[in-house]
Structure 1
């Protein structure tokens, strides 16, 4: 059997190797940017500790995949049933059999609910990586267990849904994830997010892309239930502890970023004068909301950079792009994709309008960005009922960008979260300790 393999430009620096050990970790992520990024970044931490990592990508994504950064991680392509390359038609089970003698550890994305089980069948130790927050994971778990009944109902006059665990009792009906709040809208997605807990206890470790200080009470509660570790925020080292050489980006992108155009345009703008608008690779606004968002961006005093995927461009108001103009002095720039971390860390960017996908949220927290929430993936995937007006969008952004008491409070909170995120992954931090403990456990099991 053969497989397609590719190495992401290995770094010149060799990781410190453990004597007499050849630990090989297979990492398989759901092929969506918000899942690939954190798992790839965590994989870099493992290679820095001396472990060998192979990152598996479905062959169907190869045409759109961009290798954009240096890394010592080997990438291999496997079949997911949606490719036409005969030589590469290896299923995950066949691939694991192929590597049976050399692979000792499997790290699977939570959304691939059968992978840890398949890994265990092949004599490997399995770990499940959750790219979402602990609170969302806990909600899905409680729904799967039947503790939370669907459709959701309040258990008291205050609109609360849960009484136990106590830390979750503050949640009301409107605080729950969209796929749970509206069970009939996306039943397939609901099955997927709940299905992750059908055999998660078979995994030896549960790894979460968050940090203890961010969700402390819930992390403590979950730690008493399972063998879980927080290992985030998983963003490139240059934006946090700067301990991994050449780690300036994630390394893989499913879309080609217009990096040069973005940075050239941002360089022409004053500090903290620009709002960055992006709803990730999946979220889709309705045409009414696109119209209102366009109106709000026109009305606000700030400059803006808006990521509109090619598949979404047809929803833009007529002549919107022409109205912006072509030179770097224009008020706004619309691109199909960006190198988000470079944009968020640019001195001219002062606010991030996002759908609050977890990876983007952690990036904003880690970079002290002020966040304006606009789109929720589930409820607004085809937005029809709730439309935020252009005037409201303008008002919210101006509140953040122009200061005042509310803006000052937001900036102070942002600085606090940034410092907390950096401490978590720095020497002696909670996530740093957990990553080292995970590596030590793997070494102990595989000797």
Structure 2
């Protein structure tokens, strides 16, 4: 009877149609797609809007995943298919102009079509837009077109707070670092690189700071985190924004297992070498492999690639290293042949399946937020090697707040040496500190699962978001 009542409630929500609009990079598509699936599981009608420049590149690795019932609709961003997002004012301005026109036309057309026909096959009236935090202007576009909207932040609440504090000039800095209202003192080394390296990033820095100019106007702000993970920030942030944590946005079968067949994100811009990776991992002992990946955007210098390669070679364990095709030329000559007995280098991996594998011992990561949440959700200890943007702040929390990893130290030339890399890996895999880190990793895994499970903090927040839509 209870299940029938749940199904009845879900059916009654199908008139609530939500449009979900991610920025066309993998790290933003994944979490917003997973949130769309959660809304689908609650009975809402959801349309994922994919900018046309990237839509043709999206691969569906598992046609039987829960995303099969998601309506995916291309939206013209004015760029030719295959255009990669740029970091110039020209790109951002053209993208904004293209999406603004297309989004306005789409919403008004669907509203008009719904209100002028009585057929039962018509899509429900668009009710709400969930837009990527990079698209602050989408709030105004939605409201001017007749619906309301909320931003979706794909980075941590701590990073959001840092950016917002700097934008509002609510920080006091000194030689040791900066004092923040919600955290106390953070060293310059712990802050997002775009905050203090003001002359390096130019347009990108301005673009990221602009994420917050109208966030206080939104009736709801969605964030890919969970309350227990960032409790200190969450004690302060609700006084600033109407924020709801709805994460971690990891496929359900790796967390609460409430969404059947939700085993992957469902859409990807990269083709993983799944069989190669998993077959190789199957041949290794439990907790014996170091997984190394720096995401879809980070690019190491040739010198740093050499030091990383030699550090893995010096370490005591097997390694699986993701090196994108454009980065492979930076590998030392004969490295793959020299390490064929202990290592595997691939261009892309099925990261969730890799992290969940029994052979996994630790994850050497750039500390991108999606990778950080995946490791936390699966209880995998981390070696933190942040590169830029939000990654130094994520690394600070990984090592000092959640205590689930070790951060490498850079030398005076800004390089992490092979000796440092080998030392940190061996400490995680075999040292005394590594034992405590593994226990903490298991604790945070359990808390992440609880947050997404029925009655958990993020599950409740998703329910409150749906109630907000139903009340309008």
Residue 439 (1) aligns with residue 466 (2) = yes
2:422 matched residue in structure 1: 394
Partners of 2:391 and 2:230 in 1: how far apart?
26
Specify which structure has the higher proportion of helix: 2
How far 1:317 moved relative to its partner? 1.2
Aligned with 2:363 (options 352, 367, 370): 352
The structure 1 segments of at least 4 consecutive aligned residues displaced by more than 4 Å after TM superposition are 378-381
Match for 1:416 among 434, 443, 446? 443
- Give the distance between the partners of 2:468 and 2:128, measured in 1 at CA: 11
Deviation at 1:16, TM superposition (A): 5.8
Match of 1:208 among 223, 233, 237: 223
* 1:215-364 mapped onto 2 (5 Å cutoff): 215-325=230-340, 330-364=341-375
Aligned to 1:161: 178
Q: Which has the higher contact order (CA 8 A, sep 6+)?
A: 1
Q: CA deviation at 1:26?
A: 0.5
Output the CA distance in 1 between the equivalents of 2:240 and 2:335. Answer: 52
Shift of 1:332: 0.8
Which of residues 57, 69, 74 is equivalent to 2:71? 74
Does residue 138 (structure 1) correspond to residue 161 (structure 2)? The answer is yes
Task: Indicate the residue corresponding to 1:123 in structure 2.
Answer: 146
Match of 1:40 among 33, 46, 63: 33
**Is the Cα–Cα contact under 8 Å of residues 313 and 339 in structure 2 kept in the other structure?**
no
- Deviation by residue 1:6-30 (Cα, 9 ceiling, x = unmatched): xxxxxxxx99634375111110111
Distance 1:104 1:437, change over 3 A: same
State the secondary structure of the residue aligned to 1:22: coil
Give the aligned partner of residue 54 of structure 1.
47
Deviation at 1:286?
A: 0.6
Contact 2:311 2:418 in 1 (8 A): yes
Q: Distance in 1 between matches of 2:253 and 2:240?
A: 34
- In structure 2, the residue matched to 1:192 is 207
Tell me the distance in 2 between the aligned counterparts of 1:196 and 1:185.
19
1:101-137 deviations in whole A, cap 9, x for unaligned? 4211000010112112211111111011111111100
SS at match of 2:49: strand
Is the 8 Å Cα contact of residues 290 and 317 (structure 2) preserved in structure 1? yes
Q: Which residue matches 1:91?
A: 102
Distance apart, 1:348 and its partner CA: 0.7
TM normalised by structure 1 equals 0.88
Structure 1 residues 20 and 75 mapped into 2: Cα distance closer, same or farther (>3 Å)? Answer: closer
Instruction: Report if the CA contact (8 A) 1:282-1:377 is conserved.
Output: no
Task: Give the total of aligned pairs.
Answer: 416
Aligned partners of 1:272 and 1:348 also within 8 Å: yes
Contact 2:192 2:391 in 1 (8 A): no
CA contact (8 A) 1:174 1:181 kept: no
Partner Cα distance (1:55, 1:292) in 2: 41
Contact 1:286 1:384 in 2 (8 A): no
- Which residue is equivalent to 1:22? 15
| Structure 1 contact 283–380 (Cα < 8 Å) conserved | no
Q: Which runs of 5+ in 2 are unaligned?
A: 1-6, 83-97, 113-124, 393-410
Give the distance between the partners of 2:160 and 2:139, measured in 1 at CA: 17
Verify: 1:103 aligned to 2:87, yes or no.
no
3-state SS, counterpart of residue 80 of structure 2: coil
Asked if the contact 1:15/1:50 (under 8 Å) is kept, the reply is: no
Deviations 1:191-215 (A, max 9, x none): 1110111222232210111111111
Give the Cα–Cα distance (whole angstroms) in 2 for the partners of residues 110 and 278 of structure 1.
25
Tell me: CA distance 1:84–1:171, structure 2 relative to 1, closer, same or farther (3 Å): closer
Cα gap change, 1:243 to 1:235, in 2 (>3 Å)? same
CA distance in 1, matches of 2:110, 2:184: 46
- Conserved? CA contact 1:285–1:380, under 8 Å: no
The more displaced of 266-275 and 63-72 is: 63-72
Given the two structures, how large is their TM-score scaled by the length of structure 2?
0.84
Root mean square deviation, CA, Å: 2.3
Q: Following the alignment from structure 1 to structure 2, what is the Cα–Cα distance between the partners of residues 199 and 295? A: 47
